[in-house]
Amino acid sequence: MPTHALIQSTLDELYRTEARRIYATLIRLLGDFNLAEEAMHEAFSSALTQWQNDGIPDNPRAWLVSTGRFKAIDQIRRQQRHGEIVSEMLASSVQEEPMASPELTSLIEEDVLEDDQLRLIFTCCHPSIDQKVQVALTLREVCGLTTEEVASAFLVSPSTMAQRIVRGKSKIRDAKVPFELPESDQLSDRLESVLSVIYLVYNEGYSASSGDVLIRSELTLEAIRLACLVRSLLPDSEVTGLLALMLLNESRRIARTDDQGDIILLEDQDRRLWDDELIKEGSLLVQEAIATRDIGFYTLQAAIAAVHAEAKDASETDWHQIVSLYSLLLQVAPSPVIELNRAVAVGMRDGPEAGIELVEGLLSNPVLSNYHLTYATYGEFLQRAGRKTEAVGAFEQALHLAKQTPEQRILRRKIEHLCS
């Protein structure tokens, strides 16, 4: 019999890697977000004791789905809500014990067209749901980000985001939105929201909005996996561009932090650690997307990442090309953050005073005035211009706004260096 420690370790790993897929499948089987979440947690709890007696099953994920399903049926029974839902569930059940049947095994090992997380993304991105709610709901329910993390991605308060998520769940329930992939002629209508979800998931993994670590690789890898699934369904140029962007950014992952988890800025990274295979694959996808001449938001960002990847040394970076690409990006998708990124590129091309002038103009924007990277950028340019006292003030404001521990550490080091 497996030890308690082994079972706990196995379940911890399953929860980390498989919980969102199990949850998505349970939503499909049960048709209810809250019931599926409760059922999933009950299944994990049951496994801790039942596997002690029976051993770890050959297909743990199928066991957890099956157990969660029956736990939900039991809960409905206890609440005296038999009705049609219970009748349908019981009629479709092929067994009465919570163990992995061939039917349930196939339900969670289907090919790309049957991927439950992908189904759930398209369900949450149904046209009847407001777009802001679509993305927020999917980040929370499909990818397991906390309400606070989703709020940070949108630069809104957690209470505002919580209301959006509740509204989205209610809409799916009340409108009886089907849990299914749309027909091929409807895929493109929902593509923008789906890509926004994947992009924001990757961003949260690439640079976590809060917490003790910079990188959450489980999110970056999940975003890349989902992008590959979407691309197999709909080989659109922007899907290709998004996948290229994520692969190029992922190529730098090992070089972005040191052994203590501290941030290493792009210009200071050991580029020998960059993954050449990912750079090659990402660059080829950029070329493929650009060749379609349908160049959008993600493809332009991927092109910028490719320019960085081409430079063998920070001094070789083609900032002229990067500024031009950011200018195009602002035309395609104007946003305060893209303006800030363009200001960085201009400052790197034309010198710190040019960057300072642009950033000072952006500080009047209410979004950027509460964004820690605005002040971190401002401080960096002030430091390069030799304006140390002002740079300290900017870095202190960035530190006040930063919620992520590694970012706080690097800001403190910059302040200490300037004050020494």
* pLDDT, tens digit only, all 420 positions of the chain: 677 788 888 888 888 878 888 888 888 888 778 888 888 888 888 888 888 888 888 888 888 888 888 888 877 776 654 455 555 554 554 444 444 444 444 444 444 334 777 788 888 888 888 877 887 887 788 777 788 878 877 778 888 888 888 888 888 888 788 777 777 667 777 788 888 888 888 888 888 777 777 788 878 888 898 888 888 877 789 999 999 999 999 999 999 988 888 889 999 999 999 999 999 999 999 999 999 888 899 999 999 999 999 999 999 999 999 999 999 999 999 999 999 999 999 999 999 999 999 999 999 999 899 999 999 999 999 999 999 999 999 999 999 999 888 899 999 999 999 998
Give start and end residues of each alpha helix (H) in 4-32: 4-30
Question: Is 67 part of any domain?
Answer: yes
**Identity of the residue numbered 158:** P
Inter-residue contact 263 to 323 (CB < 8 Å)? no
DSSP-derived secondary structure letter, 260: T
Give dist(CA 300, CA 289) in Å, integer. 10
Phi, psi of 257 (to 5 degrees): -140, 155
Q: Interior CA angle at 378 toward 411 and 220, to 5°? A: 60
If phi > 0 it is left, if psi is from -120 to 50 it is alpha, else beta; for residue 183 that is beta
Q: Is residue 81 part of a domain?
A: yes
Q: How many CB atoms lie within 10 A of CB 266?
A: 14
In a domain, 349, yes or no: no
Residue 328 belongs to a domain: no
pLDDT of residue 109: 47
Closest CA to 319 of 341, 343, 348, 299: 348
Cα–Cα distance, 57 to 215 (Å, whole number): 32
Range of the domain at 32: 4-109
Residue with tokens 């809409």: 171
Residue 28 inside a domain? The answer is: yes
pLDDT value, residue 309: 95
Alpha carbon distance 66, 413 (integer Å): 51
333 and 301 in contact (C-beta within 8 Å)?
no
Residue 54 confidence (pLDDT)? 82
pTM: 0.73
Residue 39 lies in a domain: yes
The answer to whether residue 282 is domain-embedded is no
**93 in any annotated domain:** yes
Tally of domains in the chain: 1
- What confidence score (pLDDT) does residue 97 get? 40
